[in-house]
Chains A and B, each alone.
Chain A
Amino acid sequence: KNEVEQSPQNLTAQEGEFITINCSYSVGISALHWLQQHPGGGIVSLFMLSSGKKKHGRLIATINIQEKHSSLHITASHPRDSAVYICAVRSEGGGADGLTFGKGTHLIIQP
């Protein structure tokens, strides 16, 4: 079973700061997802990565397959970015195609 570790668990920053959230996993994967869970509980898929880097607006996600590590970056952070960010992986090879989740990073952006 893949072990997914996220850091930090909690992060409070000021508006405008550059944010980095990290995710490490223990075994090979076929895909890694970054999800955003809003204070109301809804979950939105931000990115799906299998290699390299993806950018969407102020969000950037990178993955290093050799190091089994991914980062989510937020540039020019804003209070509306406050949410829980969850890393999830789909392991390669046999086994479930469902996702294994990290515990999440609780981000608060203060005005």
Chain B
Amino acid sequence: DAGVIQSPRHEVTEMGQEVTLRCKPISGHNSLFWYRQTMMRGLELLIYFNNNVPIDDSGMPEDRFSAKMPNASFSTLKIQPSEPRDSAVYFCASSLAFFGRRAGDTQYFGPGTRLTVL
């Protein structure tokens, strides 16, 4: 398996522009997570999905952030409009949850998207 795939790997944009980050989870996994990593705050959960349904988005910083999962093999995280403080590495992770649980045990991380907002 190719693992979790994220694109783009690097994104540089100007303040005010729309940014879309993409994630393809491991085939067969039913839980997907979006995390953000900064030097100041470390890794933080933004939102996670189970069976394509958003379960908890309490970590999404504000209305400028939105995430979708239209099908089991694709998710997007959109920032509109972007601001310099959004600069971070954004990780997507997936896991396989059994027996009605909403998240599996081992999460497999993608390589991350390094976002720089000028």
A residues engaging B (CB < 8 A)? Answer: 31, 33, 35, 41-45, 48, 86, 88, 90, 95-104
Chain A contact residues, majority secondary structure: strand
Query: Which residues of the other chain, B, contact A96 by a CB distance below 8 angstroms?
Result: 45, 48, 55-56, 58-59
Given B55, B107, B112, B114, which contacts A33 in the complex, CB threshold below 8 Å?
B107
Nearest-Cβ distance from residue B38 to partner chain A, whole angstroms: 11
In this complex, the member of B107, B111, B114 whose beta carbon has the largest number of chain A beta carbons within 10 angstroms is B107
Chain B facing A: main interface SS? strand
Chain B residues within 8 Å of A, Cβ to Cβ: 31, 33, 35, 42-45, 48, 50, 55-56, 58-59, 89, 91, 93, 101-103, 105-109, 111-112, 114
What is the CB-to-nearest-CB distance from A99 to chain B, in angstroms, rounded to a whole number? 6
Beta-carbon contact of B58 and A42 below 8 Å: no
